[in-house]
Amino acid sequence: MDSRHVSTGREYRRKERRRRRRKKVFAPVFELLVLGALGFIGYRYFCHRDRLEIAENIEIPEWIDVQYIDEGNPSRTGWRLDGVNNIVIHYVGNPGTTAQQNRDYYNHEDSNVCSHFVVGLDGGIILCVPLYERSAASNHRNHDTISIEVCHPDESGKFTDASYASLVKLTDWLLHEFDMKPQDVIRHYDVTGKECPMYYVKNPEAWEKFKEEL
Ligand SMILES: [Zn+2]
């Protein structure tokens, strides 16, 4: 027999053994990964659906003033949320304006911005968009977030005690209703790097303190 054939045959058998061993090790790992990925997608899908169902059926408490923006207005597209994954906090960026003024601004025919909630200087809260619809406040995260704009008396962007207390109350209520955690509350800054809400971007320790109070 040609020695070359012998060695090729041996090599083939060795390779075959190695291939089988690899298959034995990697096939279950691969199956586990696929199952894990499917489980994760399923979990996310049902979470999203659940939270959307919550948003559709939520009972708005009497301490929230419901003043929906006119349908068909550029700032209210009517598009549904894909899910509710975060609550995004903003500041209005227009010192001294009231919640009503900001809500009316969103409702203006050439406004293309709006948030779900506006918290006023006196602590009053207005809901501008149904909670299952998208607002237009948080850029590429409008599709899966609920937005809260907060009024502020001056350029520092610091909220009044009344606004702050209402913001905590409102955020607590949302976290409870949607079964979310304080770490699900983020700043507009965390989405785009925009200096919003300004006081809580410049004072990250105040932001951490806010989240601890939730
Ligand atoms: Zn913002």
Identify the CATH number of the domain in which residue 161 sits: 3.40.80.10
Residue 58, φ and ψ in degrees, nearest 5: -65, 140
pTM, 2 dp: 0.80
At residue 19, the pLDDT reads 82
Alpha-carbon distance of 9 to 172, in angstroms, equals: 71
Q: How far is the CA of 69 from the centre of ligand 1 (A)?
A: 19
Domain that holds residue 173: 64-212
The distance of Cα 207 from the centroid of its chain, to the nearest Å, equals 17
Q: How far is the CA of 121 from the centre of ligand 1 (A)?
A: 17
Instruction: Let me know whether 37 and 134 are in one domain.
Output: no
Q: How far is the CA of 6 from the centre of ligand 1 (A)?
A: 74
Alpha-carbon distance of 113 to 123, in angstroms, equals: 22
Instruction: Let me know whether 141 and 184 are in one domain.
Output: yes
Instruction: Let me know whether 121 and 154 are in one domain.
Output: yes
Instruction: Let me know whether 6 and 88 are in one domain.
Output: no
Instruction: Let me know whether 75 and 20 are in one domain.
Output: no
Structural domains of the chain, count: 2
Instruction: Let me know whether 163 and 182 are in one domain.
Output: yes
Instruction: Let me know whether 51 and 138 are in one domain.
Output: no
Per the document, the length of the chain is 214
Instruction: Let me know whether 116 and 42 are in one domain.
Output: no
Q: Count Cβ neighbours within 10 Å for each residue of 98-122 and write b for 16 or more, e otherwise.
A: bbeebbbbbbeeebeebbbbbbbbe
Last residue of some domain: 12, 28, 57? 57
Last residue of some domain: 11, 36, 57? 57
Instruction: Let me know whether 76 and 155 are in one domain.
Output: yes
Q: How far is the CA of 137 from the centre of ligand 1 (A)?
A: 6
Residue 164: burial class (beta carbons within 10 Å; 0-12, 13-18, 19+): middle
Instruction: Let me know whether 45 and 85 are in one domain.
Output: no
Alpha-carbon distance of 71 to 68, in angstroms, equals: 8
Instruction: Let me know whether 77 and 149 are in one domain.
Output: yes
* Beta-sheet strand order (sheet of 125-127): 64-66, 125-127, 117-119, 145-150, 86-91, 185-187
Here the tokens at position 130 are 């149904």
pLDDT of 24-49, one tens digit each? Answer: 777 878 888 888 888 777 666 665 56
Here the tokens at position 45 are 């899908």
Peptide bond into 130 cis (omega under 30): no
Q: How far is the CA of 155 from the centre of ligand 1 (A)?
A: 15
Average confidence (pLDDT) per 10 residues, the chain, 214 residues: 61 83 80 83 66 95 98 91 97 98 95 97 98 97 98 98 98 97 98 98 98 97
